[in-house]
Amino acid sequence: MMKKQVLMVLLTLSLASTTAQALTLDEARSQGRVGETLTGYVAPISHDKETLALVDRINKARAESYQQLADSNNISVDDVAKMAGQKLVDRARPGEYVQGINGKWLKKSSAAH
């Protein structure tokens, strides 16, 4: 139980630092250029060069964070990424895009939690 709580704290800190580094990620989200997925990685909605470069940079940083968390908690990197993905989708703000289980992009409404 404690291990899971520690993991969630580390995961939250990791996600916060990843997004804090890249103000452009917030801009891309609010402009509808990228969306969060349940896999724990951001995906492009707009396929211009700038957006694709941002997605690549953010996903590489996330992959490194997920790997570190997985190694230090003796769980699979896929499990870490999926936990992060669920949190990131849940935390998306109204007007931002998230990818549903069916793979379709959904725009978060103000009623969504």
Residue 28 lies in a domain: yes
Query: Which pLDDT score, from 0 to 100, does residue 12 have?
Result: 66
pLDDT of residue 101: 86
Q: Indicate whether 65 belongs to any domain.
A: yes
In a domain, 38, yes or no: yes
> Is 62 within the bounds of a domain?
yes
The domain containing residue 100 runs over which residues?
2-107
Task: Judge whether 113 lies within some domain.
Answer: no
* Contacts by residues 8-15 (CB-CB < 8 Å, ≥ 24 positions apart): 8/83, 10/69, 10/72, 10/73, 11/69, 11/80, 11/83, 11/84, 11/87, 12/87, 14/65, 14/66, 14/68, 14/69, 14/84, 15/65, 15/84, 15/87, 15/88
Within a domain: 74: yes
Return per-residue pLDDT of the chain as tens, 113 residues. Answer: 556 766 666 666 666 555 444 447 989 999 999 999 999 999 999 998 889 999 999 999 999 999 999 999 999 999 999 999 999 999 999 999 999 989 899 999 876 44
* Count of structural domains within the chain: 1
Whether residue 112 is contained in a domain is answered as no
